[in-house]
Each structure stands twice: as C-alpha cells, then as structure tokens.
Amino acid sequence: MNNLKTTKLNKIIDKVVSNIYLLMTLISASFMLIIIIFILFKGLSPFMSNYQYGVVNFLDFLFGTQYRPDMGIYGVGFIIINTLVSALLALSIAFPISVLTALFVVKIAPQRLSEFMKVVIDLLASIPSIVYGVFAAGIITKFTMTIASMLGVQTYGGTSLLSVVILLAIMIFPTITSISISSISSVSEDLQHASLALGATKVQTNFKVVLLSAKQGIFAGAILGVGRAFGEATAVSMVAGNKMFGPTFGLFNTTRTLTSTMIAGLKETSGLDYDIRFSIGLVLLIIILITNFGLNFIKNKVGKTHEKN
Amino acid sequence: MNKLFSVSDVNLSYGDKHVLKDINIDLYKNKVTAFIGPSGCGKSTFLRCFNRMNDLIDSCKIDGTILMENKDIYNKKYDVVDLRTNVGMVFQKPNPFMMSIYENVAYGLKCSGIKDKKVLKQRVINALKQAALYDEVSTRLNDSALSLSGGQQQRLCIARAIAMKPEVILMDEPTSALDPIATAKIEELIEELKKDFTIIIVTHSMHQASRISDYTAFFLNGEIVEYDITKNIFQNPKDIRCENYITGRFG
Ligand SMILES: Nc1ncnc2c1ncn2[C@@H]1O[C@H](COP(=O)(O)OP(=O)(O)OP(=O)(O)O)[C@@H](O)[C@H]1O
Ligand SMILES: [Mg+2]
C-alpha cells in the first residue's frame, strides 16, 4: 500500500519537475528570440525605404571600403575583412600554444606544477576584458612599437593590427587551454595503454591518440575562443586605432574591427549612426555562425576521426 | 621444447603491497599458457610484467629477472619500445582507437616507422585475415572501428597486435566482455594463432583454460601454487587449493 503511494507521489513530482524544466527552456528560448528579432528589426531598418534618417544602400554597406560617419558613408566590407583577419590570426597563434599547453599540463607536468597551472589558467580566463585592454594599451603597444622601430616601420603609438592580434591571442589562450585540459584529461587510459602496448612512444601516443580522442573538446574550445576574439570590443578598441578605410593587412597598420566600430562613441550618438551598429551586430552574428561552420568542417577533416555512430 | 620466457625470483609490489611473491616459471614458445586464479591474486600484474606495462604505474617496484630468449627484458639497455613491438597485448575491454578500421591496424606499424603505403596495406590485410576479421570488414575498411560489434572490436584489437608480427601475445581476459558466440570465435582464433605466436592468457573461465591452453598456472595470493600441462592441472591437480578452485569449491 505504502509503496504504491510513494510511486504515485514520485510520478507527480517527476511530472512537475519536467514541466518546470520545460518552462525554463521556453523562457530562455523566448529571450533569445526577442533579442534576435529586436536586432533584426533595428539592424535592417536603415536599409528600408521608409527609414527616417536617410536610406543606406545595402550593397554599399556590405562591400564598402570606407567608414566615415562624418560624411554619411557607412561601408563595413573592409571591417569585415579586418575582423576576420585579426580573429583568425589570433586563433592561429593561440590554438597550437593552447593545445600544447593543455597537453603539457595534463600529460607531462609534475602533479604540483600541473595543479598550479590549472589555477592560473582559470584565473586568466576570468580576468575582465578591460583589464586586458589596459594591459594591451600600456604594454603590448610598447612592444609593437619596439618591434616596428627595429624594423624601421612607423606605427601610430603602437596601435596596430599586430597589437590587436597579440591581445586577442592572449585573451583566448586561457579559454582554449582550459577546455582542452578538461577534454584531454577525459581521454580514457585504456586507449593510451593500447597505444603504448603497440610499441608507440609516449610522444606518439599523446599526439596520435590523446589529441585525436580529445578533438571534439579541443575544437569546442577553439570555437569558444574565436567567438571571444570576434566579440571582444572593449580591449580591442583600445589598441586598434579605428582606421576609417581599409582593409588592413599590414601588421603595423591601424585597423578597425566590427566590435570596435560598434562601441566607438556609442553613448554620444543617435539616429542612423546609432542604428547602423545593430546592422553591424547582425553582420558579426553571421560571421561567427559561418566561422563556426568552418571550424566544424575542419574538425571533421582532421584525422578523419570516427565518432561512435 | 623451447623456452621463451624464463622468470626467476620475481617479486613485485605496489607501494607497500606485496603483490607477486617469489615467482619462478618458464614459459614455452608457440604454446598457449593460461593464468588462472581468484580475483586479485596478481594474474594481470604478472601478465603486465612481460611487456613492462607496469612501468607506467609509479608505485610499482619489481625485483628478480625475466629473460626473453636469454635477454633480460628489465635490463636498462633493453628498449621498451622494442619489447612492446615484440610482445603484443590484448586487453579485457576492446579498446579500438577513434579511427577507421584500417587505421587502427596500421597504427602500430606507422608508429614503428613504416611509411610505404603498399607495405602498410599488405600488412593490414594480412593481419585482418589472420584475426579472422577480414571477410566481415573488407568492404568497409574506412568505416569507424567503433561501428563494429564488441566481438569484432576485440578481433580488431587482436589484428592490431599481430600486425606488428610479435613473438608473443598477452591477453588479459580477452573474452570477459563478450557474449558466448563472440567468445567462441575468439577461442577458435587463439587455437589458430598459436601456430605463429606464443600466447599467454589470463582467464576466469575454467572451460576456456582447459579448452585452449597447453599449460596452466594457478595463482593464489601472488604465488604460483601449481604449474603444469593443462591436462594434468584439470584432471589431476596436485595441490588441494588448486583442486578446490578448479572444481568451484573455492573460498
Ligand atoms: N595500479 C595498482 N596500484 C596498486 N595496487 C594495484 C594496482 N593494480 C593492481 N593492484 C593490486 O594488486 C593486486 C593484484 O591485482 P591484479 O589486477 O593483478 O589481480 P588479478 O589477478 O588480475 O585480478 P582479477 O582477476 O580481478 O583481474 C590486487 O590486490 C590489486 O588491488
Ligand atoms: Mg586482472
């Protein structure tokens, strides 16, 4: 009797709890939806014929090589390229360093050093952007200036693509490393033993089996990292130099990214110059989506890993 | 009869825990030797001595000598990588790599420096054939190894080991995670393989030990209590503890 009652009660509790989960999901999903609709609406409005502050041509916006709000020219084509260049360069520097660091922390470093490094990396990941920004403006720009003057190149006080890339690489390093660490730690011992028992060296085992098996997590880290690189505004705008035209490929030239454009003078503006930032936000979202697809594609190519299917 | 391994006075401990005690045993070439005994008596530990997998355990300390063809495999000059290419191992749980069937078998070969595509392919195919798996996978060598059934995965692991052309294959309860049909297949395979390899197998199945092995060693609490031709062990055990274990009256 009693038993029957408790099962009934448990069933009710189950139902209530699962409904609460559903509700939570719906709430967060609808927040997402509201945000997206709002950005879409705001972001597309400057291209509509009934826009009150003067219509912007969509193609000029998307492919333009000048961004001169003072002259009413809003072209973000070069900014898109700059953003891709800086984020992908940062990723290509940070990714190998992060993965090797993670491998070192998990597989090679003595226990104590490894624990210490994990703490440091988690700390680094939680430092607010503005702190990185101040550091970049104070130190990285100096470093860039030194390098530039050694090469006999002029910079604008060190604000340059190189500074942005270094800054972003430093900022995304802890993210990728930290996720790679947890993913490498969870590679089963069995696989490593199997590899060693076949006469593979530790190095071969680490690179061919451990990294391959941790691939899923490592690429998740890369995607989060590049997301952070694309999305970073505060710190980047302190060292980018906000060039008005482009694109910028020279490492010592000033540059401009989508986020630094969105944030520049945001508080003192209105009308088209304000609304256009939503359009830029839309562009940024789309770029991040495409990059994620790209990284996923690369992931499936690398080592042609075979997941359970 | 040819001696392959000659083990004398081996003692092994994990930290303070004395796990193998004064082990003396000779193992013979091209024979199947089974290690049996209750759980925790040190069978796996002893098996791992032959390819020095115990080296990976920090707390593990080993004394005594293990000669393989008269060379001390614990000698500093003996290269562990060489040892492990010569002494393959199959584990309790099938553990294929997250790679294709082909790449799994080619893995050890590639690590040992073989690059020639033709040679690789030939050795992979031969190994798969020898492991009685080729017919089942010949059309999907590039599929994931994880798409195979448990029994197929275990035969893949055997193929992976024999691709290296080792002298010895160590097997630690290779069928304990498999169903009876897959187990029967592996047992059949072992009979086939002993023509070319020396096999040392740990098993909890008396039936398996008596059916496939030529020699059997009975372990108890880290000691070898009895070691003889399998037939003698099962039909005419000398030690009462061994008899009790075999007949299921143990403990
Ligand atoms: N890595 C290790 N560290 C410490 N002790 C260990 C380790 N591996 C095994 N042992 C201990 O050594 C003893 C022998 O273990 P072993 O795995 O060799 O037994 P086994 O005979 O293979 O048992 P089973 O039949 O259950 O597999 C056990 O008491 C076990 O707890
Ligand atoms: Mg065991």
Instruction: Indicate which atom in ligand 1 lies nearest the CA of residue B222.
Output: 14
Q: Is the pLDDT of residue B221 over 70?
A: yes
Range of the domain at B236: 3-97+168-180+197-246
Do residue A202 and residue A298 come from a single domain?
yes
Integer Cα distance of A252 and A273 in angstroms: 28
Query: Is position B121 within any domain?
Result: no
Binding-site residues, ligand 1, Cβ < 6 A: B 14, 17, 19, 39-45, 57, 59
Residue A39 one-letter amino acid: I
Mean pLDDT value across residues B90-109: 96
Residue in A closest to B84 by C-alpha: A199
Do residue A126 and residue A255 come from a single domain?
yes
Q: pTM of the entire structure?
A: 0.87
pLDDT at site B113: 95
Its sign, for the CA torsion B151, B178, B165, B30, is: negative
Interface residue B91 vs chain A (CB under 8 A): yes
Query: Is position A271 within any domain?
Result: yes
Q: Is the pLDDT of residue B1 over 80?
A: no
Non-local CB neighbours of B243 within 8 Å, separated by 6+ positions: B237, B249
Cα–Cα nearest to B100, from B145, B154, B131: B145
Query: Is position A131 within any domain?
Result: yes
Residue A50: burial class (beta carbons within 10 Å; 0-12, 13-18, 19+): exposed
Query: Is position A39 within any domain?
Result: yes
Do residue A166 and residue A30 come from a single domain?
no
Residue A248 one-letter amino acid: T
Q: Is the pLDDT of residue B69 over 60?
A: yes
Tokens, residue A29: 């999903």
Residue in A closest to B143 by C-alpha: A306
pLDDT at site A308: 45
Integer Cα distance of A286 and A169 in angstroms: 22
Query: Is position B242 within any domain?
Result: yes
Do residue A83 and residue A191 come from a single domain?
yes
Q: How many domains does chain A have?
A: 2
Q: What is the DSSP letter of B224?
A: E
Pairing state of beta strands B168-172 and B87-90?
parallel
Do residue A157 and residue A244 come from a single domain?
yes
Do residue A164 and residue A290 come from a single domain?
yes
Pairing state of beta strands B17-28 and B32-36?
unpaired
Tokens, residue B198: 């020396």
The SS3 of residue A307 is: coil
Residue in B closest to A309 by C-alpha: B147
Which of A198, A202, A203 has the most B C-beta neighbours within 10 Å, making it the best mutation to test the interface with B? Answer: A198
Query: Is position A301 within any domain?
Result: yes
Query: Is position B127 within any domain?
Result: no
pLDDT at site B40: 94
Range of the domain at A279: 76-308
Query: Is position B60 within any domain?
Result: yes
Q: Give the model confidence (pLDDT) of B22-50 as tens digits.
A: 999 999 999 999 999 999 999 999 999 99
Query: Is position B11 within any domain?
Result: yes
Integer Cα distance of B214 and B190 in angstroms: 12
Query: Is position A63 within any domain?
Result: no
pLDDT at site A306: 58
Tokens, residue A89: 């360069």
- Residue B206's alpha-carbon distances to A43, B31, B35, B102, in angstroms, are 75, 18, 10, 34
Q: In this structure, are residues A63 and A77 in contact, taking their beta carbons and an 8 Å threshold?
A: yes
Q: What is the CA radius of gyration of chain A?
A: 24
B93 Cα to the center of ligand 1, angstroms: 16
Cα–Cα nearest to B186, from B146, B159, B165, B210: B159
pLDDT at site A309: 38
Residues linked to residue B8 through DSSP beta bridges, in sequence order? B65
Cα–Cα nearest to A250, from A74, A136, A76, A86: A86
Residue A19: burial class (beta carbons within 10 Å; 0-12, 13-18, 19+): exposed
Backbone phi and psi for residue A133, each to the nearest 5 degrees, phi listed first: -60, -45
Residues linked to residue B10 through DSSP beta bridges, in sequence order? B23
Residues linked to residue B87 through DSSP beta bridges, in sequence order? B168
Query: Is position A122 within any domain?
Result: yes
Distance from CA of A186 to the nearest CA of B (A): 14
For residue A98, the domain's CATH number is: 1.10.3720.10
Q: What is the DSSP letter of B19?
A: E
pLDDT at site B154: 95
CA angle A215, A217, A219 (to 5 degrees): 70
Q: Give the model confidence (pLDDT) of A138-180 as tens digits.
A: 999 999 999 999 999 988 999 999 999 999 999 999 999 999 9
- Positions of chain A with pLDDT under 70: 1-2, 303-309
Q: Give the model confidence (pLDDT) of B148-198 as tens digits.
A: 999 999 999 999 999 999 999 999 999 998 999 999 999 999 999 999 999
pLDDT at site A302: 80
Do residue A106 and residue A14 come from a single domain?
no
Backbone phi and psi for residue A260, each to the nearest 5 degrees, phi listed first: -65, -30
Share of residues in chain B with pLDDT > 70 (%): 99
Distance from CA of A21 to the nearest CA of B (A): 34
pLDDT at site B54: 94
Q: Which pairs from A186-194 meet CB under 8 Å and 24+ separation?
A: A186/A214, A186/A217, A187/A213, A187/A214, A188/A213, A188/B95, A190/B91, A190/B93, A190/B95, A191/B95, A191/B97, A191/B98, A193/B53, A193/B56, A193/B91, A193/B95, A194/B91, A194/B95, A194/B97, A194/B157, A194/B160
For residue B83, the domain's CATH number is: 3.40.50.300
Q: Which of A188, A195, A309 sits opposite B144 (nearest CB)?
A: A309
Q: In this structure, are residues A221 and B125 in contact, taking their beta carbons and an 8 Å threshold?
A: no
Query: Is position A64 within any domain?
Result: no
Query: Is position A289 within any domain?
Result: yes
Alpha helices in chain A (DSSP H): 2-44, 58-63, 77-103, 111-126, 129-135, 141-150, 161-185, 189-197, 202-204, 211-213, 215-231, 234-239, 258-263, 272-301
Residue A15: burial class (beta carbons within 10 Å; 0-12, 13-18, 19+): exposed
Do residue A110 and residue A22 come from a single domain?
no
Q: How many domains does chain B have?
A: 1
Residues written for chain B: 251
Q: Do A198 and B161 touch (CB under 8 A)?
A: yes
- Residue A78's alpha-carbon distances to A142, A229, A237, A248, B54, in angstroms, are 26, 17, 16, 8, 59
Provide DSSP, B25-55. Answer: EEEETT-EEEEE-STTSSHHHHHHHTTTGGG
B170 Cα to the center of ligand 2, angstroms: 12
Non-local CB neighbours of A295 within 8 Å, separated by 6+ positions: A219, A222, A223, A226
Do residue A39 and residue A82 come from a single domain?
no
